[in-house]
Every structure is written in C-alpha cells, then in structure tokens.
Amino acid sequence: MPVTREKEFIGLIESSKALIHKICRMYRDKPEDREDLFQEIVFQLWKAYPDFKGMAKESTWLYRVALNTAMATFRKKMPDITYSDSLPDIPDEHRGQEEADREARLFAILQRLDEAEKALAALYLEDLSYRQIAEIMGISENYVGVKINRLKTKIQHELTKQNGI
C-alpha cells in the first residue's frame, strides 16, 4: 500500500476510534475482549482498505466492515463469553456517577440484543440518518424506522423492568 494510502488509513482509524470502541463495547463485556475486537476490526479494515474503491462513503464502508467483524467474531466466541451485570469501564471523569450508571445499564441491555438489533442500535447511537442506516444494513428506510421504533420500545421496557416500575 503506498505511503499516502497508509496515511489515509491511519487518519480514518484515528477519526473513527470512538465509533469502533462503541461497537466493541456492544459486542464484548470485558475490556480485554473489547481490545481484541478493536484490533480485529482494525486488521479487517486494513486488509479491505486496498480494495475500497470509494463507491460508498468511507463511513458506510467502515460501519459495514466493523459490524460484520464484530458479528462474525461474536458468533465464533459465543461459547466463551460470560456476561456480568455491570460493565467494568471506568466512567469519563467529566461525567457524574449517575450518568455513568445510566450508560452502563444501557450498554448492559444493548449487549443482550440480537446481532441485527445491536448493529442497528450502534448506527442509531451514532446519529446516522435512516437513509445512511438503510444503506449500511441493506434494508429500506421505512424498515429502519420500524425497527428503530421497536428497538426503542424494547429498550424502554427493559429499563422500566430494571427500575422495578
């Protein structure tokens, strides 16, 4: 890969780190497993980057590779995964404990979703438009809307259950 393409790739990874970490957090509960998944996603992106022709936006391509890698490795590692009730991440020092607890509860619920729901939630949490989500997931915009509404209802139900309401 020419030096300029390498620099482009490194820039892409730098600008997309937060997204990749969110995907890792949704598919893995242990920090070391998340780090392994992060590395696997970057490796798969690196392998696929020379073939990226720009037919889709870089972000669309990145989401597809990252989510497909997360789902594929999730299926492979399924028997070895044990889930805890809480996520061991250290909360951001700029946030309060209450906000960190809410986020931990949300991610605990997200981890229990099926693969398609996790992918949809990850894209929605990144504030992508329905059109962008539809393009990445290969479904219609209308179906994205339906799935997101169902997902919101499901998550709200789980949060209500957790709060004993």
Do 38 and 66 form a contact (C-beta atoms < 8 A)? no
User: Where in the chain are the domains?
Assistant: 1-84, 95-165
The fold adopted by the segment(s) 1-84 is Rna Polymerase Sigma Factor; Chain: A (1.10.1740)
Note the CATH architecture for domain 95-165: Orthogonal Bundle (1.10)
Is the model's pTM score more than 0.75? no
Cβ burial, residue 126 (10 Å; 0-12/13-18/19+): middle
Q: List, for residues 101-122, the tens digit of each pLDDT value.
A: 888 888 888 888 888 898 888 8
Q: List, for residues 62-91, the tens digit of each pLDDT value.
A: 988 998 898 887 655 544 444 445 444 544
